[in-house]
Amino acid sequence: MRPILAALALLGAAALAGCGALDPFATVPDSPQPGQPAGARVAICHNALTTPRAAVQAEAQRECPAGTVAEAVDTDWYLDHCPLLLPARASFVCTPKK
């Protein structure tokens, strides 16, 4: 019976990976903390072990309004807004381009 469960778990993980379920995605940003820059905020759920920083930065940049740059300000792992397989929430502030 155990080989069947292992095969089903492996099949399920492969299906999730194949459909993009493990790709970084936008979520609810955290409230601004004292000392952080002002501006629109975006947050990206990702897996810090498997997702390159450049991919997280690119996703945040897509979420920011035109004419702004996504500046990383914080990362948390509270699992309030991100699923277990993508536990890290990177927060960014969209600052005007200089």
Please state the rounded mean pLDDT for residues 34-60.
Answer: 92
Query: Is position 35 within any domain?
Result: yes
- Residue 12 pLDDT grade (very low, low, confident, very high; cuts 50, 70, 90): low
- Residue 6 pLDDT grade (very low, low, confident, very high; cuts 50, 70, 90): low
Range of 77's domain? Answer: 21-96
Q: Give the pTM.
A: 0.76
Query: Is position 15 within any domain?
Result: no
What total number of domains does the chain contain?
A: 1
pLDDT at residue number 8: 63
Those residues whose C-beta lies under 8 Å from the C-beta of residue 90, and which sit 6 or more positions away, are 43, 44, 46, 56, 60, 72, 74, 75
Query: Is position 2 within any domain?
Result: no
Query: Is position 4 within any domain?
Result: no
Query: Is position 48 within any domain?
Result: yes
Query: What does the block give as tokens for 53?
Result: 């920083």
Query: Is position 7 within any domain?
Result: no
Query: Is position 34 within any domain?
Result: yes
Query: Is position 76 within any domain?
Result: yes
DSSP H helical ranges for the chain: 2-18, 53-63
